[in-house]
Every structure is written in C-alpha cells, then in structure tokens.
Amino acid sequence: MGQIRHGSATTTHAVRAALQRSQASLAALSREFGINPKTVAKWRKRQTVEDQKTGPKEPRSTVLSTTDEAMIVAFRRHTLLPLDDCLYALQASIPHLTRSALHRCLQRHGISRLPDIERDKPKRQRFKRYPIGFFHIDIAEVQTAEGKLYLFVAIDRTSKFAVTQLVEKADRKTAWEFLEYLLSIIPYRIHTILTDNGIQFADQPRNRNTAWSRPMRFDMICEAHGIEHRLTKPNHPWTNGQVERMNRTIKKATVKRFHYDSHEQLRTHLNDFMAAYNFGRRLKTLSGLTPYEYVCKIWTSEPERFIINPTHQIPGLNT
C-alpha cells in the first residue's frame, strides 16, 4: 500500500526511520539526505514516522466566545433546526454570528448533520422560475366560536409575498372582490394567476364553451389588467401546492393553535401574523431575506415591473 504524505513533505517513511536509527550528527544527516537540519531534529524527536495533523491541538473559534458556542450547541440540540434557521434565530442574540462561523462551530461539536429521520424521501422537482407577479390563489375554511369563515389566500410564487382576506361566504362575488383587493395591495404588476377549478373562479369543465356558459367577473378583471388566468388540472390539487402549503402555515399559527371567541379576534391575529410573515420572516428560499425585502431588492433592479415604490408600504406609526 502506498504512503500517504502531505504535499510539502521532503522525506519518506524510510528516510524518517533511518534518521531515528542513526547516531550521526544533525549536520551529517542533513548533508547525506539533502534536507534541512531542523527537519532531521524534528524526526529524531518523534516516535512515529506518520505525519501529524496541522493546526491547533484544541480547535476553537476566533469569533465566538465559549458562552456563544455553548448557546449554539444547546439551541441546535434542543430544536434540531437546519443551519439557516439556526442562523436567523441566533443572530438576534449573537449579532456577530455568520453562517460560516456557525457551520464550523457545529462541525467542531459533531452536530453539523441532523439525524436522518425520514429515509427514502421522494426527489423534489423545482418550480419553473418566473419573474415576480405570478400568484397562486386558493380558499380555506376556518372556524371560531361564532361559526365558520372562509379564508382567501394569495401568494407570489417568486417573492413569497402573501395576501389574505376573511369572508363569510366563498362565492363568485367574494372571489372577484378579493382579486380587486389583491390588485390594490401589490405594488408591482401581476402577470399570471393560478387557481383551482372551484366555482368561485371558473365554470365547471363540463359547462365550458357551451351555449349557456357566460364570462365570469373574475376573468373580466384579469383581462382588464392584462393578467393570464390559469387553472389547475382537475383533481390535481398539488399543482397549486404552494398556496396549499401557505394555507397550512396560516392555520397552524392561528386556528389550530388558538381558540377565538369571535371573528374579530381571528381577523386581528391574522393581520398581525401576515405582517410578521411578510415583513419579518426570513426565508431560506429567498437567501435569508423577508418577502418584503425581496420585493424591495427587485425594485432596485427591475423598477419597470412596479406600479408604486414598495418602500412606501412598510408598516410603521402611520399604518
């Protein structure tokens, strides 16, 4: 089996063994083997001919303190969050923490890889890349002590900016009213909308292109604003999976976690959650930006896509 030596080595294992056995002086051995006397002295002191690891014997961070590292390790082991989620959560307490410093810290403590809980995961396909302005829209049911409400949800495929509205009925009128509300909220031009085949958004497939079919107000608004209205394939809800996932996120943070005595309580909490999501939640898919920050980033590079300056929409004392 061949010897494995580092790239700067000037001696072989045989030469090192000969140096350790020889009784000659350092100068004589240096001339005989054509190496530096310091190299001869180094190998004479050692009991082995193998290369030793370089670097400090006890690796430690030059950026993080012992307390910082203890906090990081405890947080990782308790939450089992991915690297980027740990970074975003810990930067509030450790402002000087960088992604590379966090990764090296986890490596030093042997917890850089999360345990493999779900094996044989199906291979995920990436969404086709679109410019901002491609919205997925869907409806979900929610419940309070006062009864049932319907939640309209729209999310941009690219910027992940989301808009919601609670209504008491989910019909064609509330659907096109939500579309008009969406158009009034979004600071850039919407070019595509994807919905399912619900009666709120389209005629049933069997009734399309027939003598009794008639234009829908939803489609008329889309046409007036130059928006392409796409429909998912019937009985294929995963085609609109991005908004389905957003529905689940909203429900998990609201009606599945809290009890609401009134519709107004739910509306207030929903508005607070959506503000925190759009303006405060940093997303890995956006490279650590919030949806609002990503929109502002696109504003600086592609201002022609915008109707108004998005920086005017940041929440503050006047909102």
Q: 85 by DSSP, 3-state: which?
A: helix
pLDDT tens digit sequence for 184-232:
999 999 999 999 888 888 877 666 666 666 778 999 999 999 999 998 8
Tokens found for residue 46? 């050692």
- Looking up tokens 């489609």 gives 219
- For 280-291, letters b (16+ CB in 10 Å) and e give ebbbeebeebbb
Which letter does DSSP use for residue 110 in this model?
Answer: T
| DSSP letter, residue 34 | T
Mean pLDDT of 104-129: 74
The CATH code belonging to domain 134-313 is 3.30.420.10
Could you tell me if 159 and 190 are in contact, meaning their C-beta atoms sit under 8 angstroms apart?
no
How distant, in Å, are the alpha carbons of 16, 19, 267 from that of 22? Answer: 10, 5, 86
With a cut of 50, say whether residue 1 has pLDDT above it.
no
Q: What is the pLDDT of residues 33-85, one digit of tens each?
A: 888 999 889 888 888 888 877 767 777 788 899 999 999 999 999 988 999 99
pLDDT number for residue 184:
92
- What percentage of the chain exceeds 70 in pLDDT? 86
The pLDDT, as a whole number, for residue 139 is 93
User: Would you say the pTM of this structure is higher than 0.85?
Assistant: no
Per-residue model confidence (pLDDT) at position 319: 47
What's the confidence (pLDDT) of residue 122?
Answer: 61
Q: Which of 232, 238, 319, 240 is nearest to 278 (CA)?
A: 319
Helices marked H in 186-281: 217-224, 241-253, 263-280
Mean pLDDT of the chain, nearest integer: 86
